[in-house]
Amino acid sequence: MVLWSNEGIVTASAGLRAFRGDLLDFRDDPRQGVQDAVRHVEDGLLVVRNGLIECTGPATELLRGLPAGTPVADFRGRLLMPGFIDAHVHYVQTDVIASHGKQLLDWLNDYTFPAETAFADPGHAAFAAEFFLDELLRNGTTTAAVYPSVHPQSVQAFFSAADSRRLRMLCGKVLMDRNCPPGLRDEAESAYAESASLIERWHGRNRLLYAVTPRFAATSTERQLELAGRLLDEHPGVRMQTHIAENHAEIRWIAELFPWSSSYLDVYARFGLLRQGALFGHCIHFDDEDWARFAAAGAVAVHCPTSNLFLGSGLFNVDAARRAGARVALATDVGGGTSFSMLRTMHEAYKVAQMGGHAFDSLDAFYLATLGGARALGMEDCIGSFAAGREADFVVLDPGATTLLARRTQQVPAGNVRELLFALMMLGDDRAVQATYILGEAAIINSR
Ligand code: GUN
Ligand code: ZN
């Protein structure tokens, strides 16, 4: 499903430039058995024109055809891949990361809601947005589906900061009109009007897209959920993101708040929020019936392993999701999540899968963090791979970034990408990110 294209994106990085190193990207989901789903070019060249990918191939061949004077950045011995995509993260929760001792509902009340209340202040929001984007880029994440707070000014601050860095980002005002402190509460009708005007202002502006964002069913009245569905009907192409089935106490509460519902999922379905491409964080405590209904709708289950372990929420069953044919994405969920690093997130996803008796493949993990994430966000025509015409957002990974990583990756047989990637996801973090490029321009170069 393609909901947005990059036609008309104006890039400031005029001209031709090239990047030499080992290239890795996906043409398709490696689990589907498609031939050449993984593309690995040792000593390759990534050629970028005006911020978009022109071509890739073996460096020795392509260098000969480059016009004299074309700048070539030399990353030989490094791995270049499309920038990571974090499918669920809260920029307003950066300051509550690593808050001790609570599970979901107490964690929200004691840490998260007080921190989010401060985002009524546009100055605070602007400062936090800049820190957050720096942190994403340091970790090689170039696109994210982002939760702000309930305050429209927190959306403004985030989109302004992302726009001035020319980032491709998804965000939308959090909707919550009950069961939260007064400083975080909106009203169904005014929140609808505020969302509509934010959509008008930001959706499709440069590289930004809007997501209607009811926090979770517990903090919205039925009227608010109904209006969220209406916003989606009125604005085709606008996305939807929310939380579901994360924690047992949460699920019991939803059953009390919506006594007519047959399940948590049924609540969202009733208001038209269970739909193609809708992003649902967690989906831990689903039964077979939920999975079948979820998969049939074409919704996306966003797996947030560091958060699920940190909050003691449970173990996401990626295998059950896949058996049902559901779409899956991967995310940090900071501040419930404990790291901005998608490498660390893959690491924890591996351990969660092991607890269910499954070995999560490294190719699967990197696919989900790149092309799979782009597909989940409906952005695969713009980002997520090195196909010609895609936007040149990419990360440079250093397999020798730490002494341990260097020692382990030196043992990887030449050409064994699966093993190299596994070492990177199990031992790597922000230290493995040497540089992050946005539209072919360096956004971060980590010095060491
Ligand atoms: N459910 C509702 N809000 C949140 C949130 O901010 N974080 C997590 N992990 N779950 C939620
Ligand atoms: Zn979340």
The percent of residues above 90 in pLDDT, for the chain, comes to 94
11, 14, 206 from 165: Cα distances, Å: 11, 16, 11
Structure tokens at 118: 């401060």
Ligand 1: which atom is nearest the Cα of residue 337? Answer: 9
Q: Are 200 and 231 in contact (CB under 8 A)?
A: no
35 confidence band (pLDDT: 50, 70, 90): confident
CA of 280 to the centre of ligand 2 (A): 9
Give the CATH architecture of domain 84-376: Alpha-Beta Barrel (3.20)
pLDDT tens-digit readout, 286-311: 999 999 999 999 999 999 999 999 99
CA of 89 to the centre of ligand 1 (A): 10
Residue 60, pLDDT score: 97
Ligand 1: which atom is nearest the Cα of residue 243? Answer: 1
CA of 302 to the centre of ligand 2 (A): 10
- Best residue for ligand 1 mutational test, from 215, 251, 253, 284 (most atoms within 8 Å of Cβ): 215
Element (H, E) at 124: helix 122-138
Residue 302 and residue 338: Cα distance in Å, rounded?
A: 16
Contact residues of ligand 1, CB 6 A cut-off = 90, 104, 108, 112, 215-216, 243, 246, 307, 333, 336
CA of 48 to the centre of ligand 1 (A): 39
CA of 145 to the centre of ligand 2 (A): 10
For the chain, domain boundaries: 16-83+385-445, 84-376
Residue 430 and residue 84: Cα distance in Å, rounded?
A: 12
Ligand 1: which atom is nearest the Cα of residue 112? Answer: 6
Nearest partner of 294 among 331, 267, 324, judged by Cα? 324
pLDDT tens-digit readout, 103-160: 999 999 999 999 999 999 999 999 999 999 999 999 999 999 999 999 999 999 999 9
How many other β-carbons are positioned within 10 Å of the β-carbon of residue 252? 10
Residue 140 and residue 187: Cα distance in Å, rounded?
A: 37
What average pLDDT score do residues 217-237 get? 98
CA of 89 to the centre of ligand 2 (A): 6
Q: Are 184 and 155 in contact (CB under 8 A)?
A: no
Ligand 1: which atom is nearest the Cα of residue 90? Answer: 6
How many other β-carbons are positioned within 10 Å of the β-carbon of residue 239? 27
What is the largest distance, in Å, between two alpha-carbon atoms of the chain? 70
Q: Are 188 and 223 in contact (CB under 8 A)?
A: yes
Q: Tell me, rounded to whole angstroms, the distance of Cα 380 from its chain centroid.
A: 13
- Best residue for ligand 1 mutational test, from 88, 104, 282 (most atoms within 8 Å of Cβ): 104
Identify the residue whose C-alpha is closest to ligand 1 atom 7. Answer: 336
Judged by DSSP in three states, 297 sits in helix
Query: What is the model's pTM?
Result: 0.96
- Best residue for ligand 1 mutational test, from 243, 283, 334 (most atoms within 8 Å of Cβ): 243
167, 212, 216, 349 from 304: Cα distances, Å: 23, 20, 16, 8
CA of 92 to the centre of ligand 1 (A): 12
Nearest partner of 331 among 382, 367, 363, 369, judged by Cα? 369
Residues 6+ apart with CB under 8 A from 176: 150, 184, 185, 186, 214, 215, 219, 220, 224
7, 212, 249, 274, 301 from 176: Cα distances, Å: 35, 12, 19, 18, 22
pLDDT tens-digit readout, 398-447: 999 999 999 999 999 999 999 999 999 999 999 999 999 999 999 999 87
CA of 90 to the centre of ligand 2 (A): 6
Q: Phi and psi (nearest 5°) for 26?
A: -115, 140
Identify the residue whose C-alpha is closest to ligand 1 atom 8. Answer: 336
Domain 16-83+385-445 has CATH 2.30.40.10: yes
Ligand 1: which atom is nearest the Cα of residue 304? Answer: 9
Residue 338, pLDDT score: 98
What average pLDDT score do residues 199-223 get? 98
- Best residue for ligand 1 mutational test, from 92, 102, 105, 112 (most atoms within 8 Å of Cβ): 112
Residues 6+ apart with CB under 8 A from 405: 399, 423, 424, 427, 428, 432
